[in-house]
Amino acid sequence: MSDPVLTVAESLRDRGRAALGSRNLILVGLMGAGKSSVGRIVATQLGVPFVDSDLEIERVSRMSITELFAAYGEEEFRSLETRVMKRLLKNGPRVVSTGGGAFINDRTRRHIKKGGVSVWLKADLDVLWERVNKRDTRPLLKTENPRQTLENLMNARYPVYALADLTVVSRDVRKEIMAEDVLKAVIESQTESAA
């Protein structure tokens, strides 16, 4: 007798792979939304590679994101980010997590739209703040009032993130549940577009 949990997981994986085809699954959203942690799980569940664009930027530049911002400023960082994203999205399928500002940049957003299915992990302020306030590695939050800065980023960026192909609410649940929500959203979108 087969294990029903495995059967559900296998079905989700198979249906997710079929829905994606050779396209990439690109996770967008603010810092703390869960793009990297959820993305790794989704990639594992789908059996495809996972790439964190921020880690790839650090690898090619041999500098941390914080160092890049300090040395070159946000504009030059965004230019590098666009080039890295364009290269990452040439091949698929894979799961790619993006930095919080990647989808805001028009050029990068066009590469993302062309390179696969974009999923916005949308979280409310309390969820994001709980996740990001423990670390001092967020260059955009090095301000006098980081929570207010985070809220300002939400207000400015959420209308642009809403342009993503799909939206999944990122909430305070296990990452595996969030990964399942992402897969289900991709499968449902494919089912709806085929109807």
Please state, in angstroms and rounded to a whole number, the distance separating the CA atoms of residues 43 and 46: 5
pLDDT for 3 beyond 60 = no
What CATH code is carried by the domain that includes residue 102?
3.40.50.300
Cβ–Cβ under 8 Å, residues 29 and 170:
yes
Cβ–Cβ under 8 Å, residues 26 and 121:
no
Among 75-79, 150-154, 179-183, 187-191, which is the least confidently predicted range? 187-191
pTM, full prediction: 0.89
Burial letters for 119-135: b for 16+ Cβ neighbours within 10 Å, e otherwise? bbbbbeeebbbebbeee
Please state, in angstroms and rounded to a whole number, the distance separating the CA atoms of residues 49 and 153: 30
Tell me the residue range of the domain where 37 lies: 4-184
Residue 60 lies in a domain: yes
Q: How confident is the model at residue 172 (pLDDT cuts 50, 70, 90)?
A: confident
Residue 195 lies in a domain: no
pLDDT of residue 12: 83
Residue 190 lies in a domain: no
Listed residue (135, 95, 129) closest to 112, CA to CA: 95
pLDDT of residue 1: 47
Q: How confident is the model at residue 43 (pLDDT cuts 50, 70, 90)?
A: very high
Please state, in angstroms and rounded to a whole number, the distance separating the CA atoms of residues 149 and 152: 5
Residue 194 lies in a domain: no
Q: How confident is the model at residue 156 (pLDDT cuts 50, 70, 90)?
A: very high
Residue 52 lies in a domain: yes
pLDDT of residue 10: 76
pLDDT for 191 beyond 80 = no
Any idea of the CA torsion for 140, 142, 148, 152, to the nearest 10 degrees? -20
Residue 97 lies in a domain: yes
Q: Mean pLDDT, to the nearest integer, of 23-27? A: 97
Q: Mean pLDDT, to the nearest integer, of 122-133? A: 90
Tokens at 14, concatenated: 């198979």
| pLDDT > 70 fraction of the chain, expressed in percent and rounded | 89
Looking at the structure of the chain, the number of domains it has is 1
pLDDT of residue 6: 53
Query: Which letter does DSSP use for residue 92 in this model?
Result: -
Cβ–Cβ under 8 Å, residues 25 and 89:
no
pLDDT for 127 beyond 60 = yes
Residue 192 lies in a domain: no
pLDDT of residue 133: 81
Which DSSP string corresponds to 97-156? E--TTGGGSHHHHHHHHHHEEEEEEE--HHHHHHHHTT-S--GGG-SSSHHHHHHHHHHH
Query: Which letter does DSSP use for residue 45 in this model?
Result: H
pLDDT of residue 116: 93
Listed residue (39, 141, 160, 63) closest to 84, CA to CA: 63
Chain position carrying tokens 């965004």: 78
Q: Mean pLDDT, to the nearest integer, of 22-51? A: 95
Residue 28 lies in a domain: yes
